[in-house]
Amino acid sequence: MKKTPLKHTQGFTLIEIMVVIVILGVLAALVVPNILGRPDEARVSAAKSDIKAISNALNLYKLDNFNYPQHRPRPAGTGHQTRWLTGSEKLESRRLPT
């Protein structure tokens, strides 16, 4: 019987694949807890950004109109106009949390 020579195929060995999987597992174990613990911080940061944007918009409104808005237009279907929160003149003295 004639033996046919084995063809050398290129590829990864089982050891190489296992080493890569172990490295990926270690990286995932280090990174995933940090990512999962951050959603609340992201929400707080987004809220701070939104508050800052509203504050800037109100200040720009005051620059154009020389005072803060006193009331808003009545939505369709409502019987009366709703007033803004009283004390809007104190907006300048409030600080945003940092």
Which segments of 1-98 does DSSP mark as H helices, in order?
14-36, 39-65
| Per-residue pLDDT band at 12 (split at 50, 70, 90) | confident
Q: Give this prediction's pTM.
A: 0.40
31-69, pLDDT tens digit by residue?
887 777 777 777 888 889 899 899 888 888 888 888 888
- Residues with Cβ within 8 Å of residue 62, at least 6 apart in sequence: 68
Locate the domains of the chain by residue range: 38-67
